[in-house]
Amino acid sequence: MNATHQKTSKGTIEVICGSMFSGKTEELLRRIHRCVLAHLRVELFKPDTDQRYKPDAVVSHMGRELPCQSVSSSSALTLLASAADVVAIDEAQFFDLELVSVCQNLANAGKRVIIAGLDMDSNAQPFGPIPQLMAVADQVSKVQAICANCGDLAYVSYRISKSDSLVYLGEKKEYKPLCRSCYFSISDAQ
């Protein structure tokens, strides 16, 4: 029995969530690195709508990156991840709600599923499939950025730029992390 290549029969779902600039992708890449050290077969995915850095890589705000597959729907993950021991998904909030059942099926098939995504949108509302994934996860890690206004722990990604679209990809020019107090202070003033 070769333990370094032995697939575990116990699948799991891990969710890494929080606001923008909280280190979600950095944590996802750290966990993937540990899986690679353990000689596990890892497949990394992101939605094809995320074209901010590179279409074929997951890139953290700190500049760390790993190659990935961009997919248009969560149903594609089942086939593309069939040979993997570990299925990693970044920017999961942009996938459809079917992602929840896809991840459960992958975990039930013995795969470790690691998901990173925003738990709330810029209106401080639950975002996409992340809340349901948090409910069915074996482990949830909520990471927090630092409030750009006061330095407390951030609560939400506040949209600086003007757009009514729920999905609006951006970076530091479009969003800033805010604590609960600063977010509602700014929201109430508008």
CATH assignment of the domain containing 66? 3.40.50.300
Query: Is 117 inside any structural domain?
Result: yes
Residue 59 lies in a domain: yes
Q: Which residues contact 116 (CB under 8 A, 6 or more apart)?
A: 15, 16, 17, 24, 25, 27, 28, 88, 89, 90, 91, 92
The per-residue pLDDT of the chain, averaged, comes to 89
- Number of structural domains found in the chain: 1
Task: Look at residue 7 and tell me if it is in a domain.
Answer: no
Out of 26, 91, 98, 171, the active site residue is 91
- Whether residue 185 has pLDDT greater than 60: yes
116 forms bridges with which residues in the sheet? 16
Cβ atoms of residues 122 and 155 within 8 Å: no
In a domain, 158, yes or no: no
The residue segments making up the domain with residue 31 are 12-144
The pLDDT of residue 63 = 77
Question: Are the CB atoms for 24 and 145 separated by under 8 Å?
Answer: no
Provide the pairing of β-strand 12-18 with 112-118. Answer: parallel
- Regarding predicted confidence, which is higher, 63 or 184? 184
- Determine the Cα–Cα distance for residues 3 and 67; give it in Å rounded to an integer: 26
Q: Does residue 56 belong to any structural domain of this protein?
A: yes
Give the mean model confidence (pLDDT) for residues 159-170. Answer: 60
Question: Does residue 128 belong to any structural domain of this protein?
Answer: yes
CA 34-39-45 angle, 5° bins: 65
What pLDDT, in 10s, does the model give residues 94-127?
999 999 999 999 999 999 999 999 999 989 999 9
* pLDDT number for residue 65: 83
In the three-class reduction of DSSP (H, G, I as helix; E, B as strand; rest coil), residue 149 is classed as coil
pLDDT confidence band for 165 (50 / 70 / 90): low
- Residue 91 annotated as catalytic: yes
Q: How confident is the model at residue 171 (pLDDT cuts 50, 70, 90)?
A: low
CA distance 14 to 28: 10
**Region 1-14 average pLDDT:** 64
Q: Is residue 149, in this structure, part of any structural domain at all?
A: no
What pLDDT does residue 50 have?
77
pLDDT digits (tens, 9 = 90+) for 18-39: 999 999 999 999 999 999 999 9
159 falls within a domain: no
Looking up tokens 């993937």, which residue turns up?
Answer: 32
